[in-house]
Amino acid sequence: MSTSSPRPIFGALAGLKVIDLSRVLGGPYCGQILADHGARVIKVEPPAGDETRAWGPPFADDGTAAYYNGLNRNKRDIAIDLSRPEGREIVLKLLEDADVLIENFKIGTLERWGIGYEQSLRERFPRLIHCRVSGFGADGPLGGAPGYDAVAQALGGLMSVNGTPDTGPLRVGVPVVDITTGLSAVIGVLLAVIERQRSGRGQFVEATLYDTAVSLLHPQSANWLQSGQTPKLSGNAHSNIAPYDKFLTQTCEVFLGIGNNGQWKKLCEFLGRPDMADEPRFATNADRFRERDALRALLEAYLLQVDGEWLCRELLAAGIPAGAVRTIPQVLTDPHTLHRDMVVQVEGVQGIGIPVKLSRTPGQARTMAPRFGQHTRELLIEHGYGAATIDVLIARGTIVEHVAT
């Protein structure tokens, strides 16, 4: 790993240098996670900037969309026109002591520029880990096609199991494929980093939206592979477990997740109906699943008489998985959310905290997302460029420098 850095950074990945050429969501999210845990991440933006800077409202005071700010903290930023040979030379300079390259260009773009992995980067930088995030990969019937989260949800089968018979297939409300593809990219990078400690060699890492969407189909995929029966839309109900569904209470909607017979017995005792646990039609999960309509009717008769928030607190205290259906404001102001440091403030800007907690080398939200071209000049100076050369590159439009106002 590289050891040079302009300022001390701590964390499990301290010393790892990452060049992040990616835009939008999956790639930047991967880069942010690495940065949260100490990697030195340099975000390279095109002259037009990462398009998510404009994906608002809402916007921060400097005009940057919240969408962008939520995916790019702890990075430094340089703006380079990679369509120009001298711009590509700057990136090659940045890569000389880099450990990881993240990119999500349309497949074939780097090769057209003469800097594809197999084409040149593997030989020139043998220790480099090149991580590509793409929609469908480079080959196969869909190879090279552009990928977006909702398209991957549709083609990858997720929409077909999300929704009810009344609504029809629905997109999951968050960009779950983009986000999990970013997580897959992180896993791939870290696997390659560990393997490099043995071999001394880097390698190509690929994470695609399509592969990730398919990997998320459990248990419906396992069910179909076993039974041959096409999964159907089931709303909030589980395709294998009962009761595992959303219910209406006197005050709010709640979700009960009863995963085993012990929890079912506890639930019956809590509801004052211990006899239900002994009924043959509800004795096992398979029994309950077959009789789920009758079971639901019995549960609703009780649940409609109680306060949902109180109910869920009592059930959780009794070891029974349950939760009120909450809004985003309720979640982000909840005492447990705050206790877990899942809302953080950096330089006056609030953001989501770090979900993976390490005891000795915890991650940290150190700096807010950078402004466009904020570190262009200082990064070039660090990599051996003189002030006069930098001024020429700016004048030519090869690089863009943020000027504070």
Where in the sequence numbering do the catalytic residues fall? 178
Which SS3 state, helix, strand or coil, does residue 77 take? strand
The one-letter amino acid code at 91 reads V
HSE-CB for 24 with a 13 A CA cutoff: 16
What values do phi and psi take at 209, rounded to 5?
Answer: -60, -40
Rounded to whole angstroms, how far apart are CA atoms 166 and 171?
Answer: 14
Rounded to whole angstroms, how far apart are CA atoms 192 and 335?
Answer: 38
DSSP 8-state class, residue 272: T
Which of 77, 22, 44, 89 has the alpha carbon at shortest distance from 396? Answer: 89
Q: Is the bond into 58 cis (omega within 30 degrees of 0)?
A: yes
The one-letter amino acid code at 353 reads G
DSSP 8-state class, residue 392: H
| CA angle, residues 75, 80, 81, in degrees to nearest 5 | 145
What totals of helices (H) and strands (E) does the chain contain, helices first? 18, 14
| CA angle, residues 257, 272, 302, in degrees to nearest 5 | 65
Tokens, residue 364: 């940290």
Query: Judging by DSSP bridges, how do beta strands 17-20 and 40-45 pair with one another?
Result: parallel
Q: Report CA-CA distances (Å) from 286 to 225, 240, 266.
A: 19, 8, 18
Question: Residue 137 region, left (φ>0) first, then alpha (ψ -120 to 50), else beta?
Answer: left
